[in-house]
Amino acid sequence: MSTFTTTDGTKIFYKDWGTGRPVVFSHGWPLNADAWDEQLHLVASHGYRAIAHDRRGHGRSSQPWHGNDMDTYADDLAQLVDHLDLRDAVLVGHSTGGGEVTRYIGRHGTARVGKAVLLGAVPPLMLKTDTNLEGLPLEAFDAIRAGVSADRSQFYADLSLPFYGFNRPGANVSKGVSDAFWLMSMQVGIKGALDCIRAFSESDFTDDLARINVPTLIAHGDDDQIVPIGASGLKSAELVKDATLKIYQGAPHGLVGEFKDQFNADLLAFIAD
C-alpha cells in the first residue's frame, strides 16, 4: 500500500493512478478513497494522474485520538500534495471532502492548485445559527452522533438509503451500493467518526471560500437529503469569485445512476477546459 506519515505521526493511505495533470479526490464522511474509484479510473483513463487518500481515522489510514478536525484534515491534504510534489492540481471534494478542499485553500493557498470541484459539499456552514437560518439544527447532528454511538452498523445501513436517494418513490435501489457504503463506513474508527461529525457540521468555511481564486465547479443535487443545497451549494456559488454552478435536478447526495453519469461528464469537461 502507498502511505506517507504526517508531521504528527499519522499514517495516511493513498492511491496514485496514471500520469498527467494531477486530480486529487477527497471523500465524504463516513467513507474512504474507494468511494471515488470509478472517477479515479475515469480520469486516469483519460490521461490524468488520479489520486485519492483515506482521511485520518477512515479506511486504511491511522486512527489517531487527536487531529480529527477540519484544519488538520486540510493540513494532511497539504502534506500529501507536498509529498507527491503536485503542481497545477485539480482538487475534487465531495461532502466533507469539499470542506477539506475549501479549508486547504483557505490555509495553504493555490500555489499548487489550478482548479477546484465541490460536489455536494458542506461549505459554507451546515449548522443552523442566527445568521445561517438555512442550516440544519444542532439536534440533527446530535441524532447522528447518537446513532453512531448506539449501533453504528445499523445506523450506516440505514443512512445509505437517504444518502443515495433510495428512500424516494420509484428509486432504482441497489443493494450492492448500500452494502459498499456500509462496508466503507464500518472501517471508520468510532472516535474519528464522532469527531468528524462536529468537523463537517460546525466548521464555518465562509472566509475560506472567499480565498478561492481558481476556477471552481460547484455541483449539487437539488434533492440532497444529507447536505441540503440551500445551505451549501447555492451559497458557496455566491461566495466563490470564479464559480460555475451545476444543479442536478432530483439528484441525491451520493454518486449513483444518472447523477453519477452527469457528474462524470461534467468533471472531465471541467478538467479539460
Return all residues near 135 (Cβ < 8 A) that are at least 6 apart.
Answer: 125, 126, 127, 128, 129, 231
Q: What are phi and psi of 16, to 5 degrees?
A: -145, 100
**Active-site annotation holder among 95, 178, 232, 236:** 95
Active-site residue (options: 26, 75, 224, 236) = 224
Rounded to a whole number, what is the distance in angstroms from the first to the last CA of the chain?
Answer: 33
In degrees and rounded to multiples of 5, residue 145 shows phi and psi of: -60, -40
Active site residue 224: yes
Reported for 182-186, long-range contacts at CB under 8 A and 24+ positions apart, including other chains, are: 182/153, 182/156, 182/157, 184/30, 184/31, 184/32, 184/34, 184/35, 184/59, 185/30, 185/31, 185/152, 185/156, 185/159, 186/152, 186/153, 186/156
Integer angstrom CA distances of residue 160 from 26, 75, 242 = 19, 29, 33
* H helices present in 49-168, as ranges: 70-83, 96-108, 138-163
Separation between Cα atoms, residue 154 and residue 158, nearest integer Å: 6
Is residue 179 annotated as a catalytic residue, yes or no?
A: no
Q: Which of 58, 94, 108, 253 is catalytic?
A: 253
- Active-site residue list: 95, 224, 253
